[in-house]
Amino acid sequence: MEALKGRDLLGVADLNASEIQELLELAAQLKAGKLNLRCNKVLGLLFYKASTRTRVSFSVAMYQLGGQVIDLNPNVTQVGRGEPVVDTARVLDRYLDILAIRTFEQKQLETFAEYAQIPIINALTDLEHPCQVLADLLTVQECFGELAGATLTYLGDGNNVAHSLLLGCALVGMNVRIATPANYQPDNRIVEQARRIADGKTEVLITDDPVTAAKGAQVLYTDVWASMGQEALADERIPIFQPYQVNQELLSHADPEAIVLHCLPAHRGEEITDEVMEGKRSRLWDQAENRMHAQKALLVSLLGAD
Ligand code: CP
Ligand code: NVA
């Protein structure tokens, strides 16, 4: 996909609707083994937070394309000892072909993007998780054939995943409903951005009522109630978030064919029950697999194939 070559992915809305559709189509073809693209380039992973799926799926995707991966663990690189980002970014730019960063502040990611010419990928910040949502949309498309018109309901904390879902769903013409406790709503700037994208043509609903939000939805989605960096708040949040748990009762209000997604890792028995995770509506493992296919499509689009 020539249009994406050399660009950054700092948030979902760096892509337009047709670019997302093309990425999903490419991911589906790669997954089906219909294309054997090569990209002998070097990907750096700079992760300030833990990761299983993002780290491994990016690495395997790059290896399968014939490329290499370098793990720039901040604990053993100078940036972790305080070397300025503006210096690190310009140096890494001279070595690497592409850099995926998992960090806290979106601003830090933006500084990397400003000072490095190579494509910078948001591998999760406190604000967004765009790579996750590409895989989520691929999963919904596989299950329902078409994204436009489907309704996704996210229940839980108005966090990074909720933000990227708001923007991603609005871009592809899905209805998106976010049900959170009153003080845990998504960032209003993101909600407004999603509403501008939806332009009154699809639903963008923010509510504190989980049952109304779940009614008739094709996708129920949840994530942890305390994200990485918020561990100290986890216990006090449990009673506040309990009504938003994705369980069999809540699922009974959704479309009978509804699927359940979770970005993982999950806290079983908190935001989702064992029964639903292991139940017949769960598509969690396909969703996790799709991280690899979606990111392979992303890598080859940002870098160009050999
Ligand atoms: N969903 C996700 O990003 O998982 P990891 O934190 O394991 O990368
Ligand atoms: N919201 C979670 C997602 C983890 C993949 C977090 O930021 O910890």
* Catalytic residue, candidates 8, 291, 293, 295: 291
CA of 296 to the centre of ligand 2 (A): 21
Stretches in the chain below the pLDDT threshold 50:
none
> Are 145 and 264 part of one and the same domain?
yes
* Beta-strand relationship, 151-155 and 175-179: parallel
Q: Is 160 in the pocket of ligand 2 (CB under 6 A)?
A: yes
**7 given a catalytic annotation:** no
> Are 61 and 141 part of one and the same domain?
no
Predicted confidence at residue 141, as pLDDT, reads 98
The angle subtended at Cα 232 by Cα 226 and Cα 233, nearest 5°, is 50
**262 given a catalytic annotation:** no
> Are 105 and 177 part of one and the same domain?
no
CA of 280 to the centre of ligand 2 (A): 25
Give the other-Cβ count within 10 Å of 87's Cβ. 12
**DSSP-assigned beta bridge partners for residue 120:** 99
Ligand 1 atom closest to Cα of residue 228: 6
> Are 176 and 245 part of one and the same domain?
yes
- Residue with the smallest CA separation from ligand 1 atom 1 is 263
Please write the tens of the pLDDT for every residue from 203-254: 999 999 999 999 999 999 999 999 999 999 999 999 999 999 999 999 999 9
Among candidate residues 155, 255, 148, 140, the one with its CA nearest the CA of residue 201: 148
Buried b (16+ CB within 10 A) or exposed e, 94-105: eebbbbbbbbee
Ligand 2 atom closest to Cα of residue 264: 5
Predicted confidence at residue 76, as pLDDT, reads 92
What is the domain-level CATH number for residue 262? 3.40.50.1370
> Are 143 and 265 part of one and the same domain?
yes
- Residue with the smallest CA separation from ligand 2 atom 1 is 227
pTM of the model as a whole: 0.98
Tell me which of 136, 221, 263 to substitute to probe ligand 2's pocket, judged by most ligand atoms within 8 Å of the beta carbon. 263
> Are 282 and 295 part of one and the same domain?
no
> Are 137 and 279 part of one and the same domain?
yes
> Are 89 and 176 part of one and the same domain?
no
Q: Residue 55 is part of which domain span?
A: 2-128+291-303
The angle subtended at Cα 68 by Cα 300 and Cα 27, nearest 5°, is 25
Predicted confidence at residue 101, as pLDDT, reads 98
Predicted confidence at residue 1, as pLDDT, reads 72
